Amino acid sequence: MENQLTYSAFENEKLLIQGPLNLVILKVKKRIDKIKDSTIIIFSDSTGKSMDFNFQGNEEDILKRLEVYKAEPQLTDSSGPGRPKLGVVSREISLLPRHWEWLATQPEGASATLRKLVEEAKKKSSQINEIKPAQERTYKFMSVIAGDFKGYEEALRALYRKDKKMFLTLIGEWPEDIKKHALELSKPVFL
């Protein structure tokens, strides 16, 4: 599952559909039209948050409402320093004199050296930076759908302690679809 752009809809304890938002919303709409009193919760797989959606109207009305979720931020054209066509943005940074002296001795120049240092730091911290969001999205999902389940609080403690064995034990008796989804959302925590 690529949880950047997917959503999951659960009807009670069963996974109804998982996929892009437009497909999930349309499937949920059909289900709600068919079974009026069904309880369906839609979750963002990237955040774990449940989402509210207005299902009134026809499919065209619903798809129009989805445009809010698809809006992309507009980039402003900069005529200032940097290389805007390459995505380079010039900003001010503050360093100590010894840092500027060291940068001045680097063969590629200060900007190229700083870019390399930033890329190296990003690589080193990427795994660490994935753990916290994975814990948070798993927590948000579990708190909505599994808050009354046996072992819920202990499972959360195991999640934040990164204790995979205990986490698996505690959610072992949960409904299969919920258990599988919690494991998928929490995958980076236990690598």
Query: pLDDT by residue (tens digit) across 118-139?
Result: 888 777 776 667 899 999 999 9
pLDDT at 147 over 80: yes
Residues pairing with 50 in the sheet: 43
DSSP assignment letter at 45: T
| Token output for 92 | 């001010």
For residues 128 and 106, give the distance between their C-alpha atoms in angstroms, rounded to a whole number.
29
Residue 152 pLDDT level (bands cut at 50, 70, 90): very high
DSSP assignment letter at 14: E
pLDDT, position 94: 83
CA-based diameter of the chain, in Å? 71
Q: What's the pLDDT tens digit per position in 15-39?
A: 999 999 999 999 999 999 998 888 9
pLDDT, position 99: 84
Residue 3 pLDDT level (bands cut at 50, 70, 90): very low
Q: What's the pLDDT tens digit per position in 64-115?
A: 888 877 655 554 555 555 566 666 677 788 888 888 888 889 898 888 888 8
